[in-house]
Amino acid sequence: KAGVTQTPRYLIKTRGQQVTLSCSPISGHRSVSWYQQTPGQGLQFLFEYFSETQRNKGNFPGRFSGRQFSNSRSEMNVSTLELGDSALYLCASSPGTGFWGQETQYFGPGTRLLVL
């Protein structure tokens, strides 16, 4: 099976712009989570989706949003970009068939966003 794919892999934006990142989970996986990784804060949880519903949301401002489609693919959007949004954005998928919160997560390669 193909792994988790994320597009684009690299992105450069300027302050004030918005950006959309895409994640395609492993075939058959229904749960997708998004994470932000920065040198200062490390890895932080953004959102979790299951069957097109947001199940959990991390402590991020409303500029960060996401959605999941019926084919389990997911997108996240950041509006009004700030310099501090520069980060590696990772998505991970899991089957969604086991106990909630007790499944191995399979990570994508990430999208590296630079905000100038």
Partner 1 sequence: KNEVEQSPQNLTAQEGEFITINCSYSVGISALHWLQQHPGGGIVSLFMLSSGKKKHGRLIATINIQEKHSSLHITASHPRDSAVYICAVRGGGGADGLTFGKGTHLIIQP
List interacting residues with partner 1 (CB under 8 A).
Answer: 33, 35, 37, 42-48, 56, 58, 88, 90, 92, 99-107, 109-110, 112
- Under 8 Å between Cβ of 11 and 110: no
Q: Which is closer to partner 1, CB of 15 or CB of 50?
A: 50
* Residues linked to residue 88 through DSSP beta bridges, in sequence order: 37, 112
Q: Which is closer to partner 1, CB of 18 or CB of 41?
A: 41
Q: Which is closer to partner 1, CB of 92 or CB of 115?
A: 92
Cα dihedral 35/38/42/48 (nearest 10): -10
Smallest separation (angstroms) from partner 1 to the CB of 66: 12
H/E run at residue 89: strand 87-94
